[in-house]
Amino acid sequence: MKRYWLVFSQAVTVLLAAYFVVVTLKPEWVRQRAVSTGTTGVSLVEAPAPAAPGYVPAGSLRQAAQRASAAVVSINTSKGPSRQHPYANDPWFKFFFGDQANNHPQAGLGSGVIISAEGYILTNNHVVEGASEIEVVLNDSRRTQAKVIGTDPETDLAILRVSLDRLPAITLGNSDALQVGDQVLAIGNPFGVGQTVTSGIVSAVGRNQLGINTFENFIQTDAAINPGNSGGALVDVNGHLMGINTAIYSRSGGSMGIGFAIPVSTAKQVLEGIVKEGVVTRGWIGVEPAELSPELMETFGVKTRKGVLITGVLQNGPAAQAGIRPGDVIVEVAGKPVSTVSELLSGVAGLKPGVPAKFRLQRRDDGVDVDVTPGKRPKPRSLAQQQQPQQPQYPQVPQLPR
């Protein structure tokens, strides 16, 4: 009898040890099988409450959303009545064309991101463009009027500032390190329903030639982005800001799984220029670039297949003074390879005016290095001429409506 009792006690000890090991290392194995009887008298299978208050399910992006959401704001804008036709009040004009009067202010909707506890907010230029009043609504329901510090239509970015205390600023991430397949969250106020978080992955990086902005280097994502998300945050799994949601590909006006965000690396350059100097200063060398094509390669006698062909050089411009000629192919700018006109434009724009930079050229069979001292990029055309809302440059990739 003593022998059986010893065997029994050893078996119970082993089973209890195994149970404690499972509870410690794999608690979900036990919780998923917890059975309880509800108040209805029906036996139900229910998961018990989390073991700790801060318990986060595996794979959840809850912490990233919580970290970033506090710094994402809603932006409400209003504009005065649109201009009337000079003959709008003429009876004959009304007879033929109807009443064209529009005396009601126009309302707009967008999002923004608090990037500094000093009150600086990053958003899209098209969200606040032409607005007479800008109201910012924080995630904690506080409301205040915002002032436009500066805008940069060529990247579609704007900097606002509010005067409030205890502002939650977002942490800026490294957008240059993003890779296709990385998880991201899009946070904003779509359709005015309230702050919304959607998830997806990075679908592509370095998207350009979309005809949306002058300088394009978009992050493409399949996280749902809709009207009202403009100016909102694209964050990584740590809640760090990776980009500013700007545009969508859509035939219906809603999300089709193709959205575009401006990298935070671009936003930081714009912020620094606007805060320090009031404007964004970019480099300029005075050339007419073109993509390499078989026809142009034959015309100019180009041998290389990589780079950007220079078809024209402004007389006495920075490029001409450095010795760049029509027919040259620019293959590197300040040590960075360029293969498209967009890359050349962005590379030159990133140069500091007045500071020489090394350009690598391919001139027929010879490689040539020249030092170019860029000038200051001329101011762009007025926004009214540059962007016509009724006739977008790339209809299938419209900017998010305000």
**Among all residues, which ones are annotated catalytic?**
126, 156, 230
Pair of tokens at residue 189: 């106020």
Q: Give the DSSP H or E segment for 5.
A: helix 2-25
Distance CA 343, CA 121 (A): 28
Distance CA 162, CA 168 (A): 12
Distance CA 175, CA 170 (A): 14
Give the residue ranges of DSSP H helices in 212-288: 264-277
Q: What are phi and psi of 72, to 5 degrees?
A: -95, 130
Which residues, other chains included, contact 349 with Cβ-Cβ below 8 Å and sequence gap of 6+?
A: 215, 282, 283, 284, 377
Closest CA to 84 of 96, 94, 92: 94
How many C-beta atoms surround the C-beta of residue 107 within 10 A? Answer: 13
DSSP, residue by residue, 14-63: HHHHHHHHHHHH-HHHHHTT-EEE-TTS-EEE-PPPPSSTT---TT--HH
DSSP, residue by residue, 111-138: EEEE--TTSEEEEEHHHHTT-SEEEEE-
- CB of 399 closer than 8 Å to CB of 306: no
How many C-beta atoms surround the C-beta of residue 36 within 10 A? Answer: 9
Q: Is 211 helix (H, G, I), strand (E, B) or coil?
A: coil
Q: Is 332 helix (H, G, I), strand (E, B) or coil?
A: strand
Closest CA to 275 of 264, 283, 285, 267: 267
Judging by beta carbons within 10 Å of its beta carbon (0-12, 13-18, 19+), is residue 297 exposed, middle or buried? Answer: middle
